[in-house]
Amino acid sequence: MPKSLVRQYFIIVLFLSLAISLTIRFPLIMSMIFGDDGDRHKIGFEEGSAHFLVELAITFLVALLMFTMNFFILKPVEKHGRLKVLNIVMAVILTVASVYILNNLLFSASRILQPGYTVRGHRNEFDVTNFFVSALVIGCVLIIRLIFQKQNVILENESLKREALQSQFESLKNQLSPHFLFNSLTALKILIDEDTVKAQNYVSSLSKALRYTLQSNEKQLVTLKQEMDFMDSYLFLIRMRYDTNLSVITEISDSLYSGLLPPLTIQTLVENAIKHNEISKRKPLTITIQTTEKGALRVVNDIQKKLTSEEGTGIGLTNLSKQFQLLIGSEISICEENNRFIVDVPLIKP
Protein backbone atom coordinates (compact mmCIF):
# COMPACT_ATOMS: atom_id res chain seq x y z
CA MET A 1 0.00 0.00 0.00
CA PRO A 2 1.69 3.27 -1.10
CA LYS A 3 2.61 5.52 1.83
CA SER A 4 1.71 8.63 -0.19
CA LEU A 5 -1.90 7.41 -0.60
CA VAL A 6 -2.18 6.57 3.11
CA ARG A 7 -0.88 10.02 4.02
CA GLN A 8 -3.26 11.60 1.52
CA TYR A 9 -6.19 9.65 3.00
CA PHE A 10 -5.52 10.78 6.58
CA ILE A 11 -5.03 14.40 5.53
CA ILE A 12 -8.44 14.23 3.85
CA VAL A 13 -10.14 12.60 6.85
CA LEU A 14 -8.74 15.21 9.24
CA PHE A 15 -10.47 17.93 7.25
CA LEU A 16 -13.60 15.82 6.82
CA SER A 17 -13.78 15.11 10.58
CA LEU A 18 -13.55 18.81 11.33
CA ALA A 19 -16.13 19.66 8.64
CA ILE A 20 -18.55 17.02 9.96
CA SER A 21 -18.08 18.25 13.54
CA LEU A 22 -18.79 21.86 12.62
CA THR A 23 -21.78 20.86 10.51
CA ILE A 24 -23.29 18.71 13.27
CA ARG A 25 -22.76 21.43 15.87
CA PHE A 26 -23.96 24.25 13.63
CA PRO A 27 -27.33 24.64 15.48
CA LEU A 28 -25.43 25.04 18.76
CA ILE A 29 -23.31 27.77 17.20
CA MET A 30 -26.43 29.57 16.00
CA SER A 31 -28.09 29.34 19.43
CA MET A 32 -24.98 30.78 21.05
CA ILE A 33 -24.86 33.72 18.67
CA PHE A 34 -28.52 34.43 17.93
CA GLY A 35 -30.31 32.76 20.91
CA ASP A 36 -33.01 34.81 22.71
CA ASP A 37 -32.56 36.30 26.17
CA GLY A 38 -34.14 33.25 27.82
CA ASP A 39 -31.60 30.94 26.28
CA ARG A 40 -28.78 33.29 27.18
CA HIS A 41 -30.08 33.47 30.75
CA LYS A 42 -30.26 29.66 31.09
CA ILE A 43 -26.84 29.12 29.55
CA GLY A 44 -24.23 31.81 29.99
CA PHE A 45 -22.06 32.64 26.99
CA GLU A 46 -18.87 31.34 28.58
CA GLU A 47 -20.62 28.16 29.73
CA GLY A 48 -22.15 27.73 26.25
CA SER A 49 -18.74 28.26 24.62
CA ALA A 50 -17.15 25.62 26.85
CA HIS A 51 -20.03 23.24 26.09
CA PHE A 52 -19.63 23.88 22.35
CA LEU A 53 -15.87 23.16 22.41
CA VAL A 54 -16.35 19.93 24.38
CA GLU A 55 -19.13 18.71 22.06
CA LEU A 56 -17.07 19.71 18.99
CA ALA A 57 -14.01 17.85 20.27
CA ILE A 58 -16.06 14.72 21.04
CA THR A 59 -17.72 14.70 17.61
CA PHE A 60 -14.35 15.27 15.93
CA LEU A 61 -12.79 12.42 17.92
CA VAL A 62 -15.64 10.02 17.12
CA ALA A 63 -15.44 10.87 13.40
CA LEU A 64 -11.66 10.51 13.29
CA LEU A 65 -11.71 7.17 15.11
CA MET A 66 -14.40 5.85 12.77
CA PHE A 67 -12.43 6.99 9.72
CA THR A 68 -9.34 5.22 11.09
CA MET A 69 -11.19 1.99 11.86
CA ASN A 70 -12.88 1.88 8.45
CA PHE A 71 -9.53 2.49 6.78
CA PHE A 72 -8.56 -1.05 7.76
CA ILE A 73 -11.98 -2.58 7.02
CA LEU A 74 -13.00 -0.91 3.75
CA LYS A 75 -9.41 -0.29 2.51
CA PRO A 76 -10.19 2.90 0.59
CA VAL A 77 -6.70 3.28 -0.92
CA GLU A 78 -6.54 -0.27 -2.27
CA LYS A 79 -5.68 -0.14 -5.97
CA HIS A 80 -7.44 -3.30 -7.11
CA GLY A 81 -10.11 -5.66 -5.93
CA ARG A 82 -13.85 -5.32 -5.56
CA LEU A 83 -15.35 -4.31 -2.25
CA LYS A 84 -17.13 -7.31 -0.74
CA VAL A 85 -20.55 -7.02 0.87
CA LEU A 86 -19.08 -8.75 3.92
CA ASN A 87 -16.65 -5.87 4.39
CA ILE A 88 -19.49 -3.33 4.29
CA VAL A 89 -21.59 -5.34 6.77
CA MET A 90 -18.56 -5.72 9.05
CA ALA A 91 -17.87 -2.00 8.81
CA VAL A 92 -21.45 -1.13 9.78
CA ILE A 93 -21.56 -3.61 12.70
CA LEU A 94 -18.17 -2.60 14.10
CA THR A 95 -18.95 1.07 13.65
CA VAL A 96 -22.26 0.79 15.52
CA ALA A 97 -20.64 -1.25 18.31
CA SER A 98 -17.68 1.10 18.55
CA VAL A 99 -19.91 4.18 18.65
CA TYR A 100 -22.04 2.64 21.37
CA ILE A 101 -18.95 2.01 23.53
CA LEU A 102 -17.49 5.42 22.71
CA ASN A 103 -20.78 7.12 23.55
CA ASN A 104 -20.75 5.70 27.06
CA LEU A 105 -17.12 6.63 27.62
CA LEU A 106 -17.26 10.07 26.02
CA PHE A 107 -20.61 11.01 27.55
CA SER A 108 -19.22 10.18 30.98
CA ALA A 109 -16.10 12.19 30.16
CA SER A 110 -18.23 15.15 29.06
CA ARG A 111 -20.10 15.05 32.41
CA ILE A 112 -16.77 15.26 34.20
CA LEU A 113 -15.62 18.15 31.99
CA GLN A 114 -19.02 19.93 32.39
CA PRO A 115 -20.29 19.01 35.88
CA GLY A 116 -22.79 21.85 36.05
CA TYR A 117 -24.21 21.48 32.57
CA THR A 118 -27.44 19.49 32.36
CA VAL A 119 -29.96 19.55 29.61
CA ARG A 120 -32.90 17.16 29.46
CA GLY A 121 -32.63 14.76 26.61
CA HIS A 122 -28.98 15.58 26.19
CA ARG A 123 -27.95 11.88 26.37
CA ASN A 124 -30.40 10.89 23.64
CA GLU A 125 -29.23 13.80 21.50
CA PHE A 126 -25.63 12.75 22.14
CA ASP A 127 -26.31 9.19 20.96
CA VAL A 128 -28.24 10.22 17.84
CA THR A 129 -25.61 12.77 16.85
CA ASN A 130 -22.68 10.35 17.06
CA PHE A 131 -24.56 7.57 15.24
CA PHE A 132 -25.34 10.09 12.51
CA VAL A 133 -21.63 10.97 12.40
CA SER A 134 -20.81 7.27 11.98
CA ALA A 135 -23.18 6.95 9.04
CA LEU A 136 -21.56 9.98 7.41
CA VAL A 137 -18.12 8.50 7.97
CA ILE A 138 -18.97 5.18 6.29
CA GLY A 139 -20.49 7.05 3.35
CA CYS A 140 -17.42 9.30 3.04
CA VAL A 141 -15.02 6.33 3.20
CA LEU A 142 -16.91 4.57 0.39
CA ILE A 143 -16.84 7.74 -1.71
CA ILE A 144 -13.11 8.21 -1.05
CA ARG A 145 -12.53 4.60 -2.11
CA LEU A 146 -14.40 5.20 -5.39
CA ILE A 147 -12.43 8.39 -6.07
CA PHE A 148 -9.06 6.78 -5.31
CA GLN A 149 -9.83 3.77 -7.50
CA LYS A 150 -10.98 6.01 -10.33
CA GLN A 151 -7.73 7.98 -10.07
CA ASN A 152 -5.75 4.72 -10.11
CA VAL A 153 -7.59 3.55 -13.21
CA ILE A 154 -6.86 6.88 -14.94
CA LEU A 155 -3.17 6.74 -13.96
CA GLU A 156 -2.82 3.14 -15.10
CA ASN A 157 -4.52 3.92 -18.42
CA GLU A 158 -2.17 6.87 -18.94
CA SER A 159 0.79 4.64 -18.11
CA LEU A 160 -0.38 2.04 -20.62
CA LYS A 161 -0.86 4.75 -23.24
CA ARG A 162 2.67 6.06 -22.62
CA GLU A 163 4.09 2.54 -22.92
CA ALA A 164 2.17 1.97 -26.15
CA LEU A 165 3.34 5.32 -27.56
CA GLN A 166 6.90 4.54 -26.50
CA SER A 167 6.71 1.19 -28.27
CA GLN A 168 5.33 2.81 -31.43
CA PHE A 169 7.99 5.51 -31.28
CA GLU A 170 10.82 2.97 -30.91
CA SER A 171 9.39 0.97 -33.79
CA LEU A 172 9.28 4.03 -36.02
CA LYS A 173 12.75 5.16 -34.97
CA ASN A 174 14.26 1.75 -35.62
CA GLN A 175 13.00 1.94 -39.20
CA LEU A 176 15.21 4.99 -39.88
CA SER A 177 18.55 3.17 -39.65
CA PRO A 178 17.69 0.58 -42.32
CA HIS A 179 16.13 3.39 -44.38
CA PHE A 180 19.31 5.47 -44.20
CA LEU A 181 21.52 2.43 -44.85
CA PHE A 182 19.43 1.33 -47.83
CA ASN A 183 19.76 4.72 -49.55
CA SER A 184 23.46 5.05 -48.67
CA LEU A 185 24.29 1.64 -50.11
CA THR A 186 22.30 2.47 -53.24
CA ALA A 187 24.38 5.63 -53.66
CA LEU A 188 27.60 3.70 -52.99
CA LYS A 189 26.70 1.14 -55.65
CA ILE A 190 26.35 3.92 -58.22
CA LEU A 191 29.55 5.61 -57.05
CA ILE A 192 31.64 2.41 -57.30
CA ASP A 193 30.80 2.19 -61.00
CA GLU A 194 31.75 5.85 -61.54
CA ASP A 195 34.85 6.46 -59.36
CA THR A 196 36.49 3.91 -57.03
CA VAL A 197 38.58 6.56 -55.20
CA LYS A 198 35.50 8.56 -54.39
CA ALA A 199 33.84 5.35 -53.33
CA GLN A 200 36.61 4.70 -50.78
CA ASN A 201 36.24 8.21 -49.32
CA TYR A 202 32.52 7.71 -49.34
CA VAL A 203 32.85 4.52 -47.26
CA SER A 204 35.02 6.37 -44.70
CA SER A 205 32.46 9.16 -44.32
CA LEU A 206 29.61 6.66 -44.35
CA SER A 207 31.09 4.88 -41.31
CA LYS A 208 31.04 8.18 -39.37
CA ALA A 209 27.45 8.85 -40.39
CA LEU A 210 26.35 5.32 -39.46
CA ARG A 211 27.99 5.69 -36.06
CA TYR A 212 25.76 8.69 -35.37
CA THR A 213 22.76 6.78 -36.69
CA LEU A 214 23.38 3.85 -34.36
CA GLN A 215 23.97 6.13 -31.36
CA SER A 216 20.83 8.12 -32.14
CA ASN A 217 18.71 4.97 -31.80
CA GLU A 218 19.37 5.17 -28.07
CA LYS A 219 17.81 8.64 -27.85
CA GLN A 220 14.33 9.98 -28.40
CA LEU A 221 15.50 13.53 -29.05
CA VAL A 222 18.69 15.29 -30.05
CA THR A 223 19.54 18.97 -30.28
CA LEU A 224 19.44 20.86 -33.56
CA LYS A 225 23.19 21.44 -33.12
CA GLN A 226 23.83 17.68 -33.01
CA GLU A 227 21.68 17.17 -36.09
CA MET A 228 23.53 19.86 -38.02
CA ASP A 229 26.91 18.39 -37.04
CA PHE A 230 25.73 15.05 -38.42
CA MET A 231 24.45 16.78 -41.55
CA ASP A 232 27.99 18.03 -42.29
CA SER A 233 29.10 14.40 -42.66
CA TYR A 234 25.95 13.39 -44.48
CA LEU A 235 26.14 16.27 -46.95
CA PHE A 236 29.75 15.37 -47.68
CA LEU A 237 28.50 11.96 -48.75
CA ILE A 238 25.80 13.49 -50.92
CA ARG A 239 28.11 16.06 -52.56
CA MET A 240 30.56 13.33 -53.52
CA ARG A 241 27.82 11.83 -55.60
CA TYR A 242 26.26 14.97 -57.05
CA ASP A 243 29.22 17.35 -56.97
CA THR A 244 28.19 20.93 -57.75
CA ASN A 245 24.78 19.89 -59.04
CA LEU A 246 23.50 19.89 -55.48
CA SER A 247 23.64 23.02 -53.32
CA VAL A 248 22.63 23.07 -49.66
CA ILE A 249 22.19 26.43 -47.94
CA THR A 250 21.91 26.66 -44.14
CA GLU A 251 20.36 29.61 -42.32
CA ILE A 252 20.06 28.56 -38.67
CA SER A 253 19.45 31.03 -35.86
CA ASP A 254 22.03 30.61 -33.08
CA SER A 255 19.31 30.89 -30.42
CA LEU A 256 17.56 27.77 -31.78
CA TYR A 257 20.48 25.34 -31.79
CA SER A 258 19.33 24.02 -28.40
CA GLY A 259 15.90 23.08 -29.81
CA LEU A 260 15.09 19.36 -29.81
CA LEU A 261 13.87 17.05 -32.57
CA PRO A 262 13.92 13.31 -33.34
CA PRO A 263 17.26 11.97 -34.64
CA LEU A 264 17.80 12.00 -38.42
CA THR A 265 14.96 14.47 -38.99
CA ILE A 266 16.93 16.78 -41.30
CA GLN A 267 18.57 13.86 -43.09
CA THR A 268 15.11 12.42 -43.83
CA LEU A 269 13.91 15.73 -45.28
CA VAL A 270 17.03 16.27 -47.41
CA GLU A 271 16.94 12.67 -48.59
CA ASN A 272 13.27 13.10 -49.55
CA ALA A 273 14.13 16.15 -51.68
CA ILE A 274 16.98 14.30 -53.40
CA LYS A 275 14.90 11.20 -54.05
CA HIS A 276 11.98 12.97 -55.74
CA ASN A 277 13.74 15.67 -57.73
CA GLU A 278 16.05 15.74 -60.75
CA ILE A 279 19.66 16.69 -59.96
CA SER A 280 21.82 17.32 -62.99
CA LYS A 281 23.95 19.96 -64.70
CA ARG A 282 20.88 20.93 -66.66
CA LYS A 283 18.80 21.16 -63.48
CA PRO A 284 20.89 21.66 -60.35
CA LEU A 285 18.95 21.38 -57.11
CA THR A 286 19.10 23.83 -54.22
CA ILE A 287 17.98 22.80 -50.74
CA THR A 288 17.65 25.38 -47.97
CA ILE A 289 17.76 24.41 -44.29
CA GLN A 290 16.60 27.32 -42.15
CA THR A 291 14.76 28.30 -38.99
CA THR A 292 11.64 30.45 -38.98
CA GLU A 293 10.56 33.36 -36.78
CA LYS A 294 8.08 31.02 -35.09
CA GLY A 295 10.91 28.79 -33.91
CA ALA A 296 10.42 25.97 -36.41
CA LEU A 297 12.88 24.20 -38.68
CA ARG A 298 12.13 24.59 -42.39
CA VAL A 299 13.56 22.62 -45.32
CA VAL A 300 12.80 24.03 -48.78
CA ASN A 301 13.64 22.74 -52.23
CA ASP A 302 12.61 23.58 -55.79
CA ILE A 303 10.18 21.15 -57.37
CA GLN A 304 11.78 19.55 -60.44
CA LYS A 305 10.29 16.09 -60.58
CA LYS A 306 12.15 13.22 -62.18
CA LEU A 307 10.84 11.64 -65.33
CA THR A 308 11.20 8.25 -63.63
CA SER A 309 10.67 8.12 -59.91
CA GLU A 310 13.39 6.56 -57.73
CA GLU A 311 12.48 3.41 -55.84
CA GLY A 312 12.34 3.88 -52.07
CA THR A 313 11.00 2.39 -48.86
CA GLY A 314 8.09 4.81 -48.56
CA ILE A 315 8.56 5.58 -44.88
CA GLY A 316 10.26 8.99 -45.00
CA LEU A 317 7.88 11.87 -44.33
CA THR A 318 5.10 9.60 -43.08
CA ASN A 319 7.42 8.11 -40.48
CA LEU A 320 8.67 11.55 -39.41
CA SER A 321 5.18 12.94 -39.11
CA LYS A 322 4.11 10.01 -36.92
CA GLN A 323 7.08 10.57 -34.63
CA PHE A 324 6.10 14.18 -34.00
CA GLN A 325 2.49 13.13 -33.50
CA LEU A 326 3.59 10.69 -30.80
CA LEU A 327 6.03 13.12 -29.16
CA ILE A 328 4.07 16.38 -29.07
CA GLY A 329 0.67 15.61 -30.57
CA SER A 330 1.39 17.75 -33.65
CA GLU A 331 2.35 16.68 -37.16
CA ILE A 332 4.85 18.35 -39.46
CA SER A 333 3.60 20.91 -41.99
CA ILE A 334 4.00 20.05 -45.69
CA CYS A 335 3.02 22.36 -48.55
CA GLU A 336 3.85 23.31 -52.11
CA GLU A 337 4.12 27.03 -52.88
CA ASN A 338 5.54 28.90 -55.92
CA ASN A 339 6.98 25.66 -57.31
CA ARG A 340 8.75 25.00 -54.01
CA PHE A 341 8.30 22.07 -51.66
CA ILE A 342 8.27 23.30 -48.02
CA VAL A 343 8.37 21.20 -44.86
CA ASP A 344 8.11 22.89 -41.45
CA VAL A 345 9.16 20.86 -38.41
CA PRO A 346 8.37 22.16 -34.90
CA LEU A 347 11.41 22.44 -32.66
CA ILE A 348 10.70 21.10 -29.18
CA LYS A 349 11.79 23.36 -26.34
CA PRO A 350 14.40 21.81 -24.04
Model confidence pLDDT, tens digit, residues 301-311:
999 988 766 55
Q: Measuring CA to CA, how many Å separate 219 from each of 1, 62, 110, 159, 317?
A: 34, 56, 68, 20, 20
CB–CB of 247/289 below 8 Å?
no
Residues 11-25: pLDDT tens digits? 998 999 888 888 877
Burial of 67 from C-beta contacts in 10 A (0-12 / 13-18 / 19+): buried
CA 178/CA 182 separation, integer angstroms? 6
For the whole prediction, is pTM greater than 0.75?
no
Q: Does 40 or 252 have the greater pLDDT score?
A: 252
Pick from 53-62, 128-137, 161-170: least confident? 161-170
Residues 115-131: pLDDT tens digits? 555 444 455 666 677 77
CB–CB of 262/297 below 8 Å?
no
Q: Is the pLDDT of residue 2 over 90?
A: no
Q: Is the pLDDT of residue 223 over 80?
A: yes
Nearest-10 Cα torsion for 242, 247, 253, 257? 0
Structural domains of the chain ordered from first start? 3-159 (no CATH), 195-346 (3.30.565.10)
Q: Does 211 or 35 have the greater pLDDT score?
A: 211
Pick from 150-164, 242-256, 289-303, 308-322: least confident? 308-322
Question: What residues does 285 pair with on adjacent strands?
Answer: 246
Instruction: Identify the pLDDT of residue 303.
Output: 92
pLDDT grade for 336, boundaries at 50, 70 and 90? very high
pLDDT grade for 265, boundaries at 50, 70 and 90? confident
Q: For a pLDDT cut of 70, what percent of the chain falls above it? A: 75
